[in-house]
């Protein structure tokens, strides 16, 4: 294997190792990395959480997790992986726990020859992030010498719940870690099809000359889910769709579609250009919010088989937490002036799918004369399917066979899964990049703050507006009718979900 695809020696400390993220994503990803040779011999994992457990119990729980959420596990592979797994009970609010952690870390550093490199993965409640960072610093667990062994921190979203809290969290982290040591996760950025947006734009000569207001009429960005909130009702009540999906995943997709070419493909130069996008977003404030942002909440399905959001575990029966959002966003810069970007995301929609539809302008004049023929010439569209299909297609007009001119719409189609069936899932990519110190897929402090600067006034407008309950939409539908009205005002329509 290419040496750049092998992680350096390291002790990965998972804070919150008794939780869902560790079981569902992290340990299955680490097991897959172990099996495929991405982890060096000098690599170990120390899980820590308040739950009382020893190494043996932790290993058994992680084996069950991999069996359920990961690839098939063999006994021999598991035995060699399990030898890397350790556990330490500890309360994150207790300074003594960090001193005990320091002792254990020193012992494991020596035993696994990790060169003193360490990475802390914060998989805890977000309210604990700042406190944990401070305690790690106070216990002397964070190396500060840029030339010595590395100490890094990986942080799951949500990163703050509004602008002020995101700023406060950045401040708290920067008290202990330099920005190069902080890896703020947005797992959408690790999806291959999302990364492909920049390759499509900047490794081809045919798209970029058209990528502007002269040629693009409008863009739709959707991340629809078929599932509901499941067992995460408690978290979701605090979050809602704007914090859960729009502030991060949707704005990141928008930034990749909209950004100027970076000077080069290094983390800071790419992130500079993304921050420019957030700066250029036309603020949605006061009354504009009610015009350009539609919020919805799923009700029971039409046939009653699926219950509404109100009935989910952990959700208040009179909750006004939105589970759907549709926004019209404008980018105030030279390239995009006047081009609307329609963003849409929600739970319990007709189909789970994420995609970007770039609609080009209509032809300026129809030379074919016949009214019928001209009416059948649809504008070109470039559609980037992010999931579940991982593909790109370009729609263009073509002649249907027969006398005269009959115009039809054809598709040029490229399928990622066919071509690359073994692409690694997001958490493997994120862990490997963080271990290699590559920050391109992670958010920088200014980017996170700028995106909250855009979202916070929307949250405030809805919080301060007594009659602004979200529109109800039946589970399994296309979302609230008001979202159709939002886009229809400009003479457009949403790409139907599930081919409806």
Give catalytic residue positions: 249
Smallest separation, CB 22 to ligand BG6 (Å): 16
- Phi, psi of 370, deg, nearest 5: -55, 130
Q: Which residue of the chain is nearest ligand BG6 when measured via CB?
A: 244
**Among positions 244, 292, 312, 390, the unique one binding ligand BG6 when judged by CB under 6 A:** 244
Binding to ligand BG6 (CB under 6 A): which residues in 418-447? none
- In the chain the first and final C-alpha atoms are separated, in Å, by 45
Query: Toward ligand BG6, which CB reaches closer, 240 or 474?
Result: 240
- Strand stretches in 203-318, DSSP E: 216-224, 293-299
Query: Toward ligand BG6, which CB reaches closer, 34 or 347?
Result: 347
Between the CA of residue 74 and those of 40, 44, 302, 449, what are the distances in Å? 19, 19, 45, 44
Smallest separation, CB 84 to ligand BG6 (Å): 27
Count the residues of the shown chain that bind ligand BG6, applying the rule CB under 6 A: 4
How far, rounded to the nearest angstrom, does the alpha carbon of residue 166 sit from its chain's CA centroid? 17
Asked if residue 363 lies in contact with residue 327, where contact means CB atoms within 8 angstroms, the answer is no
Query: Toward ligand BG6, which CB reaches closer, 217 or 244?
Result: 244
Smallest separation, CB 158 to ligand BG6 (Å): 8
Query: Toward ligand BG6, which CB reaches closer, 373 or 391?
Result: 391
Other Cβ atoms closer than 10 A to 230: 11
Query: Toward ligand BG6, which CB reaches closer, 225 or 355?
Result: 225
Query: Toward ligand BG6, which CB reaches closer, 165 or 373?
Result: 165
Binding to ligand BG6 (CB under 6 A): which residues in 260-319? none
Smallest separation, CB 124 to ligand BG6 (Å): 15
Binding to ligand BG6 (CB under 6 A): which residues in 338-397? 354
Query: Toward ligand BG6, which CB reaches closer, 225 or 395?
Result: 225
Cis ω for the linkage preceding 158 (within 30 of 0): yes
Number of H helices, E strands in the chain: 17, 16
Q: Which of 460, 493, 496, 453 is closest to 478 using CA atoms? A: 496
Other Cβ atoms closer than 10 A to 12: 25
Smallest separation, CB 29 to ligand BG6 (Å): 13
Relative orientation angle of helices 27-35 and 75-82, to the nearest 10 degrees: 110
Could you say whether residue 156 binds ligand BG6 (CB under 6 A)? no
Full strand arrangement of the beta sheet holding 406-415? 406-415, 391-400, 381-387, 353-360, 216-224, 340-346, 324-330, 293-299, 471-474
Distance, in Å, from the CA atom of 154 to the CA atom of 434, rounded to the nearest integer, reads 8
Smallest separation, CB 474 to ligand BG6 (Å): 19
- Strand stretches in 361-429, DSSP E: 381-387, 391-400, 406-415
CA atoms within 13 A of residue 205's CA, in its CB half-sphere: 0
Smallest separation, CB 105 to ligand BG6 (Å): 29
Assigned token pair, 55: 């190494």
Assigned token pair, 481: 């009718």
Asked if residue 426 lies in contact with residue 192, where contact means CB atoms within 8 angstroms, the answer is no
Asked if residue 296 lies in contact with residue 470, where contact means CB atoms within 8 angstroms, the answer is yes
Query: Toward ligand BG6, which CB reaches closer, 90 or 296?
Result: 296
**Among positions 109, 217, 225, 312, the unique one binding ligand BG6 when judged by CB under 6 A:** 225
Distance, in Å, from the CA atom of 323 to the CA atom of 471, rounded to the nearest integer, reads 10
Smallest separation, CB 157 to ligand BG6 (Å): 6
Give the binding site for ligand BG6 (CB under 6 A). 157, 225, 244, 354
């Amino acid at each position: 294997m290419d040496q750049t695809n092998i992680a350096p020696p390291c002790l990965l400390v998972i804070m919150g190792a008794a939780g869902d993220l560790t079981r569902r994503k992290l340990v299955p990803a680490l097991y897959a990395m172990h099996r495929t040779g991405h982890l060096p011999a000098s690599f170990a994992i120390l899980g820590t959480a308040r739950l009382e457990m020893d190494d043996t119990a932790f290993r058994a729980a992680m084996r069950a997790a991999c069996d359920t959420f990961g690839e098939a596990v063999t006994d021999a592979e598991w035995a060699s992986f399990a030898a890397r797994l350790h556990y330490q009970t500890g309360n994150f609010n207790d300074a003594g726990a960090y001193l005990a952690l320091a002792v254990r870390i020193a012992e494991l550093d020596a035993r696994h020859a990790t060169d003193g490199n360490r990475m802390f993965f914060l998989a805890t409640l977000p309210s604990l992030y700042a406190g944990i960072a401070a305690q790690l610093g106070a216990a002397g667990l964070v190396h500060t010498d840029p030339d010595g062994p590395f100490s890094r921190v990986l942080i799951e979203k949500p990163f703050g719940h509004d602008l002020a809290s995101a700023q406060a969290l950045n401040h708290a982290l920067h008290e202990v870690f330099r920005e190069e040591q902080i890896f703020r996760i947005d797992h959408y950025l690790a999806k291959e099809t999302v990364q492909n947006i920049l390759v499509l734009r900047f490794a081809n000569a045919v798209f970029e000359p058209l990528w502007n207001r002269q040629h693009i009429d409008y863009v739709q960005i959707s991340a629809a889910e078929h599932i509901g909130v499941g067992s995460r009702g408690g978290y979701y009540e605090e979050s809602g769709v704007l914090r859960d999906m729009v502030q991060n995943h949707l704005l990141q997709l928008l930034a990749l579609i909209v950004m100027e070419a970076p000077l080069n493909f290094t983390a800071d130069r790419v992130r500079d250009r993304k921050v420019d996008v957030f700066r250029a977003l036309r603020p949605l404030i006061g009354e504009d919010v009610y015009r350009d942002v539609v919020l919805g909440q799923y009700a029971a399905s039409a046939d009653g088989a699926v219950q509404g959001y109100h009935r989910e575990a952990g959700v208040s029966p009179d909750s006004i937490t939105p589970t759907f959002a549709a926004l019209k966003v404008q980018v105030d810069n030279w390239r995009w002036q006047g081009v609307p970007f329609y963003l849409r995301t929600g739970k319990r929609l007709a189909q789970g799918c994420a995609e970007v539809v770039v609609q080009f302008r209509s032809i300026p004049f129809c030379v074919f004369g016949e009214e019928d023929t001209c009416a059948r010439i649809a504008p070109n569209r470039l559609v980037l399917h992010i999931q579940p299909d991982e593909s790109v297609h370009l729609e263009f007009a073509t002649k249907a066979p027969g006398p005269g001119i009959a115009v039809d719409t054809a598709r040029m189609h490229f399928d990622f899964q066919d071509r690359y069936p073994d692409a690694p899932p997001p958490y493997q990519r994120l862990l490997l990049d963080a271990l290699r110190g590559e920050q391109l897929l992670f958010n920088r402090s200014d980017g996170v703050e700028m995106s909250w600067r855009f979202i916070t006034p929307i949250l405030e407008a809805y919080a301060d507006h007594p009659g602004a309950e979200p529109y109800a939409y039946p589970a399994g539908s296309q979302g609230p009718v008001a979202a159709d009205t939002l886009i229809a005002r400009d003479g457009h329509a949403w790409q139907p979900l599930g081919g409806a």
